[in-house]
Structure 1
Amino acid sequence: MAKKKVEDKSQVNGDNTRNEIENLSTDDEPNFSDPEGFVDKISDEELLGDILKQKPKETDGVESVIVVDGVPQVGPERMEKLQMVINKVFCKFGTIVNEYYPKTENGTTKGYIFLEYASPVNAIDAVKITNNYKLDKNHTFQVNLFTDFKKYDDIPDEWEPPKPQPYVSQGDLHYYLLEPDAYDQFVVSCGSGSMVQVWLNSQPEPTKLESRDRWTETYVKWSPLGTFLATFHSQGVALWGGPQFTKYMKFRHDGVEFADFSPCEKYLVTYSPHSSHNSEQKALIIWDIRMGIEKRSFSLEGPAVWPIFRWSHDDKYFARIGHDILQVYETPSFGLLEKKSLKLPGIRDFCWSPTDNILAYWVAEDKDVPARVTLLEIPNRIDIRNKNLFSVADCKIHWQKSGDYLCVKVDRYTKQRIEKNERKYSGMYYNFEIFHMREKEIPVDSVEVKEPIHAFAWEPVGMKFAIIHGEQANISVSFYGLKTGQALSLLKKFEKKACNHLFWSPAGQFIVLAGLGNMGGTLEFVDTNDFTIMNSTDHYETSDVEWDPTGRYVVTGVSVWKVKRDWGYWIWTFQGKVLKRENLDRFAQLLWRPRPPTLLSVKQQKDIKKNLKKYYAQFESKDRMRMTKASKELIEKRASLMKEFNEHRDQRIQQWKEQKTRRLELRNNIDTDELDSDTKNVEEEVVEFFIKEEVVVLD
């Protein structure tokens, strides 16, 4: 009976539900509209974010378009030539897929054009480089992105002054020049940049200033004046400066392997050798260091010798050699000087004067036309001196640091004969052509050497140069001197020396004769005032020698890049006394931080040298105090260690005394600590007991 009531109740409920649904479907239709005043709090981005990303933009299709104003207005007859000029300027930034030249009713161009690139990146690069590009004296390009016109159209009528931005200091980039004791800095790199350290060459021990792991991926490089430290990465080059070596600027250039600074540190040249295989990637880029922007890029064809560009001393000009041409560019336009290259058939090499806008180049022989060395004045392109040379195999150009002299080392043939209307040469001899740059009409001295030349080096400050010459079994080192109005003279000749490199002190007078490579790292320190050999020694397998900027210290290093073992560096005095030996795992390079030229006049420098004895006592006293301080610090350190040892020893003795009662209990009240080895009366009992037994079944 109860079961039946439950079934009847469920049937009644089902009927009621069915009736309600039928009433809804017939009388009141469902309403899915939002009520009046409803505000949807969910944005379209939250619901359809992935789909909205594919929504077309107004700028799609025009981001790759640029507008060039300032184009010459020409008629139909000159239209083809104009298009060639425009394509020559703008095609180097990428592929131009479309171009439009608006014209008047009579077919004359209106002075502006539209260019469309294959990629928006190409359009951006074209705007950066070609805006304000001077085509000629009457036409200068004004280049903008097509999408920028919307921005210009939305400029408000009323000008509002920009909000002042907080000043962010990058630190004192020249703080190291204010070091009170004039200590120099040097950077040490290990492995492929696995560790980079910056040290201060303080006395008696160097002081570590900075140490970072993976600071660079390959190597490091100082800028010419020492302001920046450059590090190399797969994505580009970064510059660091200031007391904490904070990042000053970064330059994006994928695959960069080489970088070169202009002498005044205004510009940076980066080179990616592998970019030559990728037409869309730039191989060579010149950057403005302070602005961090690209000034111009270049493409390269064929093998290149680094540095590709060579700079004038004042950053106004840079040049490179092409096929039978010399290309000289000017800054800040970065265009060819006078818009044309110098045609010099047979040009082989050139080099700028370190103090004047004069470059020296040499041209090889061509049939009956002799070889020639020429001094060219820039920017007027006037030949101020020529020297013809015969039977020339090769030339090397060496400028003296002060620009007073130029030496051209000439390799010459001794014999020649004619075979099948061709001239054949054999035998070699050598001579040096010395140009006196500061004298009237630039006279030239010649020095002939019959033996092979292994090395040549000018004295940085002075009028001497040194050469290493002779056969391998009998190598000699000769020093020559120059005086104004006098002939070149031999000052000294050292015979039977085991050396193949010359390293002059930056201050002159002192030189290191080094035998690198297979000569085992022999070193000789020579004073060229009286040609005294101050020390003859060696640093086994030395691969590098580096003088500090002051000429007081010299470093010899064994680099992992050249040697397979015993890596590290030694620091020496200019007299050849070892101050520090440092062995480092995978040591790669050590570079002294350069210093800018002195602000003292020549007269002030002479006065200081003249009165040097007056300052000697002051410097000696300071050195003595420094060494005394170092000795005092060493004594204090040893005293502190001794004090710590005595305190530890006293604590252990006190602990030993406190544990004596317990020891007596464990030893049956026999004080074994006080017994002599002969009087000890202690019975020794050996107790053996079974610990464990294991049975292992061997298969």
Structure 2
Amino acid sequence: MSTEAPTQFSYRAQKELTIWSGYPEYQPLKTFEKPETATRAFQYSKYGHAYAYATNESVKVYDAGSLEQWCEIKRPNVIDLWLSPQGSFVATWERPTKLEDGSGSRNLIVWDAKTGEEIASFSQKAQNNWNFQWTDDEKYCARMVTGEVQFWESRNAGKAVWARLKLEGIAQFSLSPGKSPAVAVFVPERKGAPAIVRLFSVPSFNQPLSNKTFFKADRIQTFWNDLGTSLLVLTQTDVDKTGKSYYGETNLYYLAVAGTFDCRVPLDKEGPIHDVTWGPDSKEFVVVYGSMPAKSTLFDHRANPVHSFGIDPRNFVKFNPQGRTICIAGFGNLNGTIDLWDRKSLTKVKSFQAPNASHCEWSPCGRYLLTATLTPRLRVDNGFKMWHHTGTLIYEESVNELYQVGFRPEPASKYPMRSISPAPKPIKVLSTLNADVKPIAKPLGAYRPPHMRSGGAPTSLAQREADMAAGRSTSGPRKIPGAPVGAKFASKNKKDGKKEAAPPAAAKPTPVNAEETQKKIRNLEKKLRQIRELKDKQTKGDTIEPAQLQKIGTEPSVMRELAGLRALL
């Protein structure tokens, strides 16, 4: 039995919000008083100091360690919330309303997390990219408005602006982690001019530290290393003009904050970029890229390829916090195969399956991998599983209508890196599953989309976010209330479906009926038009019904299915 203090995690279901201890207890903490009404969201602060949740009555904030309540904020209409890195502040967002004088309501509010005192309030129509950003030490905070990013000293947020970073056409910004904060700003292509990413030291905005221009970028996602010294920029277009991919063209760029080095990351397989992650030492990163089956490659701090993990149907990658084990997996409309790699020897430790998983993250101790099946992406077989870092399933819990689950972040230094060790005996595994999971044989023949396999329906991974809350970027995908939180860029494809059976290794392809396929393509294109109309309404601040929000959330899976059908013609 481990002598380390148990880790902590929380989950939110339709009828309950609870906090549990991790290995070896796996049971609810009695010191946490569950809310009596349904919750809309919960979040841990980036470094695990604070925990907050919102109901239809109020927002409550706690010390995440002792679970002592800090404050209760009586706001009945909070849809989403966000904690500052150290947990000193909490920001809330409500649906905007028009006041009698025609002005917009101050629906974005920043509060003192300890006292519940209001610090600042703003009018913020769109929910996308609404959240405030703070530097890691919380000394400064920032918010984007038309044509500029405004900075304040955190305690004086909303008062006189401390500094302004003005840039015409700015569409996204992201503050770096680390002791010397920098800010990355993005301006999309305009009137034939290329897109721009610029890095500035806070608050020296006269001269950029680094500057990169490129075409084929309607939007970006930013991936900072933990030290805040390097930035990966994942660019995406809305449409791939070459016709090779329906869901846009992607590229990856590397920028050193010091301005001494930048480049386009060399990817030697055509197709979309599915996932990107930095190693905890900030000196290496892994990219999963290319048309399926995809390629996974480890790069060094100068974007040189170091090691190929092979070509397989995979679209997710994550180092454990100690950097010893790498999880490379295939979620979404793939069959849930997970490969665990030893970073030291670069050998595969184990392959196993977590079918229908829509969330995946490491425990802070780096010894356990959490997978979960969340609603509304899949409304059956909801629950979570804990896997030892050797690939053995040691705990499983069924949870009806599970919306969100996540570990409390803790410093990796609290849990020193250890060698690969034997798995403990399973603590609780449902009788329908086999705890002794056998390695998955590599499928034979060409990769085929799941909707064209017999007995299978597409499934998906919903995860950023924190996701993976730690290191989350405001340039990431919009969160949908009631939907899984912490989703990641190219693995957040939501689609309800029946549980997918893994196809036989040598299954024969389903014959393609061109006329039927064309009909399906037209129906999917119609769905995409409807979704984009809803997104336009949402951007304008119009009221969006829950069913419409859910429809917006299906956009990635519709695009992926459409791409798969077009590939068959």
State if a TM-score over 0.5 links the two structures: yes
Separation in structure 1 between the aligned mates of residue 355 and residue 209 of structure 2, nearest angstrom: 48
Deviation at 1:290, TM superposition (A): 2.1
Pair 1:470-2:290 in alignment: yes
**Is residue 346 of structure 1 aligned with residue 169 of structure 2?**
yes
Task: State how far apart, in whole Å, the 2-side matches of 1:343 and 1:379 are.
Answer: 12
Pair 1:276–1:542, CA change in 2 (3 A): farther
Matching residue of 1:437: 257
- How far residue 249 of structure 1 moved from its aligned partner, in angstroms, is 0.7
Which secondary structure does the structure 1 equivalent of 2:260 belong to? coil
1:545 aligns with 2:360: yes
Q: What's the counterpart of residue 175 of structure 1? A: none
The reply on whether 1:234 has 2:234 as its aligned counterpart is: no
Q: TM-score, normalized by length of structure 2?
A: 0.65
Query: Over residues 526-569 of structure 1, what are the superposed CA-to-partner deviations in whole Å (9 max), with x where a residue is unaligned?
Result: 22333222121112211111211121111111123321211111
Q: What amino acid sits opposite 1:225 in the alignment?
A: Y
Gaps of 5+ in 2: 428-569
1:260 is displaced (CA, Å) by: 0.6
Question: Secondary structure of the residue that 1:332 maps to in structure 2?
Answer: helix
* Equivalent in 210, 222, 237 of residue 397 of structure 1: 222
- Letter of the 1:287 partner, please give it: W
Q: Does residue 320 in structure 1 map to residue 143 in structure 2?
A: yes
Contact 2:186–2:198 under 8 Å retained in 1: yes
Assess, with a 3 A threshold, how the Cα gap between structure 1 residues 241 and 276 changes in structure 2: closer, same or farther. farther
Q: Is the 8 A contact 1:499 1:515 kept in 2?
A: yes
Q: How far apart in 2 are the matches of 1:574 and 1:197?
A: 25
Q: Distance in 1 between matches of 2:64 and 2:150?
A: 37
Structure 1: distance between partners of 2:408 and 2:230: 27
1:102-134 C-alpha deviation (Å, 9 max, x unpaired): xxxxxxxxxxxxxxxxxxxxxxxxxxxxxxxxx
Which residue pairs with 1:374 in the alignment? 198
Letter in 2 for 1:372: I
Counterpart residue number, 2:132: 309
Deviation at 1:265, TM superposition (A): 1.4
> Which residue pairs with 1:387 in the alignment?
212
Q: Write the letter of the residue equivalent to 2:288.
A: I
Per the alignment, do residues 196 and 511 of structure 1 end up closer, same or farther by CA in structure 2, a change over 3 Å counting?
Answer: same
In structure 2, the CA distance between the partners of 1:538 and 1:290, relative to structure 1 (3 Å rule), is: same
Question: For the structure 1 residues 270 and 411, does the alpha-carbon distance in structure 2 shift closer, same or farther, using more than 3 Å as the test?
Answer: closer
Larger Rg: 1
What is the deviation of 1:572? 0.7
> Is contact 1:222-1:593 (8 Å) kept?
yes
CA deviation after TM superposition for structure 1 residue 491, in Å: 1.9
* Preserved CA contact (<8 Å) 1:268 1:288: yes
Amino acid at match of 1:310: Q
Q: Distance in 1 between matches of 2:67 and 2:49?
A: 10
C-alpha distance in structure 2 between counterparts of 1:242 and 1:512, whole Å = 27
The aligned residue for residue 454 of structure 2 is: none
- Percent of aligned positions with the same letter in both sequences? 24
Aligned pairs for 1:200-239 (under 5 A) are 200-203=21-24, 205-210=25-30, 214-215=35-36, 217-218=38-39, 219-239=41-61
Summarize deviations over 1:342-399 as a string: whole Å, max 9, x none. 3311212111111122101122233354332211111232422222334544433211
Q: Deviations over 1:440-482 (max 9, x none)?
A: x42223324343212211112342211121123x322122122
Corresponding residue of 1:568:
383
Q: Is 1:284–2:108 an aligned residue pair?
A: yes
In structure 2, relative to structure 1, the CA distance for the partners of 1:285 and 1:582 (3 Å cut) is: same
* 3-state DSSP of counterpart to 1:346: coil
* SS across alignment from 2:228: coil
User: Against the structure 1 CA distance between its residues 516 and 386, is the aligned structure 2 distance closer, same or farther, given a 3 Å change threshold?
Assistant: same
Deviation, structure 1 residue 206: 2.4
Q: How does 1:654-693 map to 2 (within 5 A)?
A: none
Distance 1:526 1:258, change over 3 A: same
Match of 2:279 in 1: 459
Quote the Cα distance in structure 1 between the aligned partners of 2:65 and 2:278.
35
Q: Structure 1 CA distance, aligned partners of 2:66 and 2:305?
A: 50
Q: 1:249 aligns with which of 51, 59, 71?
A: 71
**Corresponding position of 1:333:** 156
Higher RCO (C-alpha under 8 Å, 6+ residues apart): 2
2 CA distance for matches of 1:488 and 1:471? 21
Contact 2:322 2:412 (8 Å CA) reproduced: no
Letter in 2 for 1:400: N
CA contact (8 A) 1:328 1:337 kept: no
Cα distance in structure 2, aligned partners of 1:364 and 1:566: 41
Question: How far has the Cα of 1:571 moved from its partner?
Answer: 0.6
Match of 1:534 in 2: 349
Q: Which one-letter code corresponds to 1:463 in the other structure?
A: K
SS in 1 for 2:199: strand
Inter-partner Cα distance in structure 1 for 2:296 and 2:217:
24
CA distance in 1, matches of 2:66, 2:304: 51
Alignment length (residue pairs): 414
Taking the aligned partners of 2:247 and 2:388, their CA distance within structure 1 comes to: 43
Residues 352-361 or 312-321, more deviating: 312-321
The two structures, once aligned, show a CA RMSD in angstroms of 3.5
Between the aligned partners of 1:394 and 1:591, the Cα distance in structure 2 is 27
Judging changes above 3 Å, is the alpha-carbon distance between structure 1 residues 182 and 536 closer, same or farther for their aligned structure 2 residues?
same
Q: Is the Cα–Cα contact under 8 Å of residues 267 and 288 in structure 1 kept in the other structure?
A: yes
Give the equivalent residue in structure 2 for 1:293.
Answer: 117
Correspondence for 1:28? none
**In the alignment, which residue of structure 2 is the partner of 1:198?**
19
Partner of 1:262: 84
Q: What amino acid maps onto 2:147 in structure 1?
A: D
Amino acid in the other structure paired with 1:323: T
Which segment is superposed worse, 571-580 or 333-342? 333-342
Contact 1:195 1:212 in 2 (8 A): no
**Structural mapping, 1:410-421, within 5 Å:** 410-411=235-236
Task: Name the counterpart of 2:307.
Answer: 492
Note the C-alpha offset of 1:242: 7.3
Kept after mapping to 1: 8 A contact 2:105/2:123: no
Aligned AA (1:261): L
Pair 1:183-2:6 in alignment = yes
1:512 aligns to 2:327 (yes or no): yes
Distance 1:242 1:595, change over 3 A: closer
- Structure 1 residue ranges without an equivalent (≥5): 1-178, 418-425, 600-604, 631-699
